[in-house]
Structure 1
């Protein structure tokens, strides 16, 4: 599964935020509703799952 986009478990069916994550040499995060809109890249050593929670919180505001 390395490198494939996976939908976050925080992206429920009725949630306004739909986020996907791909684990490659770095961690990539994108909006699943706009997959060609770019991705946020985070170096793998700096990845912390709490980052995803923070991003979702910021999007929902």
Structure 2
């Protein structure tokens, strides 16, 4: 999947201190996730519903 035009955004809980940051991008029927410190490295693609459940679970921790 070509993600060269994806609009990446940093997770809202990530700080500006250069620490561990995650970026996400909405792509057709999926969410892409990557490490902001390595934008050309590996990324994970997950279904939108799985991503929603994942983020809801994190909010409850």
**TM-score in terms of structure 2 length:** 0.66
Gaps of 5+ in 2: 1-5
Structure 1 residues 14-23 or 36-45, which shifts more?
A: 14-23
- Which residues in structure 2 correspond to 1:33-48 (within 5 Å)? 33-48=37-52
Distance (whole Å) between structure 2 residues aligned to residue 38 and residue 18 of structure 1:
14
The 4+ residue runs of structure 1 with deviation greater than 4 A are none
Max Rg structure: 2
Give the structure with the larger helix fraction: 1
Q: 2:9 aligns with which of 6, 28, 36?
A: 6
Between the two proteins, the alignment pairs up a number of residues equal to: 51
Distance (whole Å) between structure 1 residues aligned to residue 41 and residue 56 of structure 2:
23
Q: CA RMSD in A?
A: 2.2
**TM-score in terms of structure 1 length:** 0.66
Deviation at residue 4 of structure 1 after TM alignment: 0.5
Match of 2:3 in 1: none
